[in-house]
Amino acid sequence: MGKKKVTPIYRPLRWLVKTVYPKIEAVEPEAIPDEPVILVGNHSQLHGPISCEFYAPGEHYTWCAGEMMALKEVPGYAFKDFWSQKPRYTHWFYRIASYVIAPLSVLVFNNANTIGVYRDARILSTFKSTVEHLQEGENVVIFPEQDIRRNHVVYQFQERFVDVARLYYRRTGKELAFVPMYIAPKLKKMYFGEPIRFNAESPIEEERTRICEYLMDAITEIAESLPEHTVVPYRNIPKKLYPSNKLTEEENEEARS
């Protein structure tokens, strides 16, 4: 595919962000197989994409909502996805902010190592581009959470990203590996777990569920095994409501509700 052309102003902007953003250490990157893989992590709001752009091991591209790459679509998507859970009396401010960030969003996400993700027929281009990057030896990073709470660490995954493995198998004859990744901004680290491999012989519906269940559980187990810290959740809720990675069984049930 070759490297994308980068707008000149993007390079100093990227340098500035990397300078001010805390360095994130990759822990146990040896868990990542020595082959092209998909790294699947908790979104951790903006921390997931930013930390992976700078510090994920190896050459990689990250799935990015296509709406954040189109000037007219940024405001509606940004407000709904980032700020709609904020107190209602602040909505006027965040609606304005969603328009202010639109040009910056388009600049950043069209110049960073991203793959646009769409919810219509264009999803085929997402899958095609993903497979092409994998075939060139590059990893792909995906944050598949949606606004359905699963537990105190992750939200429920959208499952269709697993379909990339079916296309990859058709193109290469290889069964793709998915690696669980836990982003812990409060610890300034990202952690990697044991991969799960796509089974081309199983029905795709079963593979979606099997792989997603494993990844969500693995990410949760990684988080729970670490020293106590605050989890940065998928939803942009008040910081006082951020959960701890150490919850009792009762508290975990409440987090699921």
191 contacts 28 by C-beta, under 8 angstroms: yes
| The model's pTM | 0.90
Read off the pLDDT of each residue in 113-126 and give the average, rounded to a whole number: 87
Closest CA to 55 of 37, 33, 29: 29
What is d(CA 69, CA 50) in angstroms, rounded to the nearest whole number?
A: 16
**3-state DSSP of the chain:** CCCCCCCCCHHHHHHHHHHHCCCCEEECHHHCCCCCEEEEECCCCCHHHHHHHHHCCCCEEEEEEHHHHCCCCHHHHHHHHHHCCCCHHHHHHHHHHHHHCHHHHHHHHHHCCEEEECCCCCHHHHHHHHHHHHHCCCEEEECCEEEEECCCCCEEECCHHHHHHHHHHHHHCCCCEEEEEEEECCCCEEEECCCEECCCCCCHHHHHHHHHHHHHHHHHHHHHHCCCCECCCCCCCCHHHCCECCCCHHHHHHHHC
Does the structure show a pLDDT above 90 at 8? Answer: no
Is residue 219 included in any domain, yes or no? yes
Q: What is the pLDDT of residue 62?
A: 95
Asked if the model's pLDDT at residue 255 lies above 80, the reply is no
Residue 5 lies in a domain: no
- Top-confidence residue, 3 or 123: 123
- Report, as an integer, the average pLDDT of 96-113: 89
Q: How confident is the model at residue 238 (pLDDT cuts 50, 70, 90)?
A: confident
Is the residue at 7 inside a domain? no
Give the pLDDT confidence score for residue 119 in this predicted structure: 79
Write the pLDDT tens digit of every residue in 14-30: 899 899 999 999 999 99
Domain assignment present for residue 70? The answer is no
User: In total, how many domains does the chain have?
Assistant: 1
Does some domain include residue 161? yes
Residues 6+ apart with CB under 8 A from 158: 144, 145, 146
In this prediction, residues 95-118 reach a mean pLDDT of: 89
Q: What angle do CA 58, 32, 42 make, to 5 degrees?
A: 85
Distance CA 126, CA 86 (A): 31
Write the pLDDT tens digit of every residue in 129-172.
999 999 999 999 999 999 999 999 999 999 999 999 999 999 99
pLDDT at 108: 87
* pLDDT of res. 104: 87
What is the extent of the structural domain holding 130? Answer: 21-64+114-256
Please check whether residue 59 is in contact with residue 137, taking contact to mean a CB–CB distance below 8 angstroms. Answer: yes
**Mean pLDDT (whole number) for 70-98:** 87
Has residue 174 been placed in a domain?
yes
Q: Which residues pair with 149 in a beta bridge?
A: 155
Asked if residue 69 belongs to a domain, the reply is no
**Which of residues 110 and 221 earns the better pLDDT score?**
221
Q: Which is it for strands 114-117 and 139-142: parallel, antiparallel or unpaired?
A: unpaired
Report which residue type is found at 17. Answer: V
In a domain, 79, yes or no: no
pLDDT confidence tier of residue 37, bands split at 50, 70 and 90 = very high
